[in-house]
Each structure stands twice: as structure tokens, then as C-alpha cells.
Amino acid sequence: MHEYSLACEIFETVIETAHDNKASAVNSITLEIGMLTHANPEQLLFCLEVLSRDSIAEGAKVNVNFISPYGECDCGYRGDVGVGDGINCEDQPSLYEYAVMTCPSCGKPLQLVGGDELIVQTIDIEI
């Protein structure tokens, strides 16, 4: 139930922010989810929906932006890993971990950095 605990964290953040701003309802929430969190977006959205029932966030629209990890090399190269071309990584985020990525400037394997974020980017509320 990885998604459930993530959804709980998101939900708490949303409710806290809504209360701090004296909101009467939450219209929409925008999330940034790193591809390496292994969260299944559908399950995550479902858990959020269940959690927000009977709260001021009930019925809020949830937008999800995915964040890709980037590659870093000993030689100082840093850039996008670019696995996404032709592959739907939203369905198969684990591809990022198994794909062999090499540094375009020196050819050594790249280290993956980032992609495990889970951020509540914006919350649109009704005052």
C-alpha cells in the first residue's frame, strides 16, 4: 500500500494548507511525482479520492505532473537521461532503472539523480 501512504501525506498537506488559508473548498490540486517513486498514479488518485470524502477536498480535481530523473557523470556531465523517447514511462517507470544509460561525453555509465520527488505543487482553493 505504497500509494496509500503517499496519498495520506498529500492529503494532510492539502488539508493543512486549506485550513491555513481559511478555505471553504478545494477546487484542484497539482502534484509533481518523480518517476522513481513507483507510485501508480491511478491507485494514488483513487486513494486520494477515498481520503477526501467528507472533507473540504472532496471532488477536487487532481492534476499530476511527472518528473524524470536526470543523469550525472564523474566527468561532470549532467543532463536528461532521455529514455522516454518511444517508451511510455508513465506506465513503466521502472524502465528508468533498468535502461543502461551512458554519458554522451565520456561513455561511462550515468548515475541517476532525482525522480523520487513527491511535491504538492499548487492547491487551488475557494475562500
Q: Is residue 46 within a helix (H) or strand (E), and if so which, with residue range?
A: helix 41-52
Complex with Zn ion: residue 80 or 126, whichever CB lies closer: 80
Binder to Zn ion among 50, 75, 99, 113 (CB under 5 A)? Answer: 75
Min dist CB 30 to Zn ion, Å, is: 35
Angle at 13 between CA 52 and CA 57, to 5 degrees: 25
Residues of this chain, 86-105, that bind Zn ion according to CB under 5 A? 103, 105
Residue 2 assigned as binding residue: yes
- Single out the segment in contact with Zn ion by CB under 5 A; choices: 2-10, 74-82, 92-100, 112-120: 74-82
Q: Which amino acid is it at 126?
A: E
Measured CA to CA, the distance from residue 9 to residue 61 in angstroms comes to 17
Q: Which three cell numbers stand for residue 66?
A: 511527472
Length of the chain (residues):
127
Give binding residues for Zn(2+) as ranges: 73, 75, 103, 106
Give binding residues for Ni(2+) as ranges: 2
